[in-house]
Amino acid sequence: MLHTFVALVSDKPGALTRVASLFRRLSINIVSLTVGESERADVSRMTIVCEAPENAAHRIKASLYKLEITVDVDEVGRSEGVIRELCLIKVAAGPKEPNGLHSRSQIFELATVFRARVVDLAPESIMLEMTGAASKIEGLIQVLRESGYTILEVSRTGRMAMRRGKHTSRVLKALGTSGTAGAVPDKAIDILPSDFDDN
């Protein structure tokens, strides 16, 4: 099954290599790996999607914490977080293509249906930008191919994830709610709605 981990790591040379080497030693395949800046200047945020048995999540988290560069690790489930991917798709749509320039209007219609945006228009091609779940992106690519369009290039970022409604004390402080009247107590910060009793 697919596991999605969000790891905050120290922004130091070789951090990405260390994480990738860890998964190689564990014999676990990385499906996608997205790295970028976080809310802290000295910390990078990694979203790691890997294929592993269901009971391997704890072992992966423990192994990541053993790296001295690791600040925090969280596994984000599909129902617990917002998971998105960015994709750029370049489609052939010039005078020499089937239906000529009429094919462009059809691509515009498909873009509207899938809520994609046209970000570049060249004499021989159209580039679409789409953000959403991986299944939605794959759906657009499939429809384009089944409609007879030639896809020239596809560039995908891989998944990015963020847990819904879970705030650390650092985030609450940035929001200006820490230490003020009505602030959420530290022990209640990491409680999710599903953790409350039904009573």
Provide the b/e sequence for 27-38 (b: ≥16 CB within 10 Å). Answer: ebeebbbbbeeb
> Which range of residues forms the domain containing residue 38?
2-75
Q: How many domains does the chain have?
A: 3
Q: Decide: helix, strand or coil at residue 21.
A: helix
CA pair distance 115, 125, nearest whole angstrom: 19
Please give the chain's pLDDT, 199 residues, in tens: 889 999 999 999 999 999 999 999 999 999 999 998 888 889 999 999 999 988 889 999 999 999 999 999 998 876 778 889 999 999 998 766 655 555 788 899 999 999 999 999 998 899 999 999 989 999 999 999 998 899 999 999 988 888 887 655 555 565 565 544 343 334 333 433 334 333 3
Q: What is the 3-state secondary structure (H, E, C) of 48-95?
A: EEEECCHHHHHHHHHHHHHCCCEEEEEECCCCCEEEEEEEEEEEECCC
Same domain (yes/no): 141, 177:
no
pLDDT at residue number 197: 39
Same domain (yes/no): 198, 140:
no
**Which of 30, 48, 75 is at the close of a domain?**
75
66 burial via Cβ count (<10 Å: 0-12, 13-18, 19+): exposed
Same domain (yes/no): 114, 88:
yes
Same domain (yes/no): 48, 17:
yes
Same domain (yes/no): 125, 138:
yes
pTM higher than 0.75 for the full model?
no
Same domain (yes/no): 152, 88:
yes
Q: What is the domain-level CATH number for residue 118?
A: 3.30.70.1150
Same domain (yes/no): 88, 69:
no
pLDDT at residue number 170: 58
Q: Residue 158 is encoded by which pair of tokens?
A: 């891989």
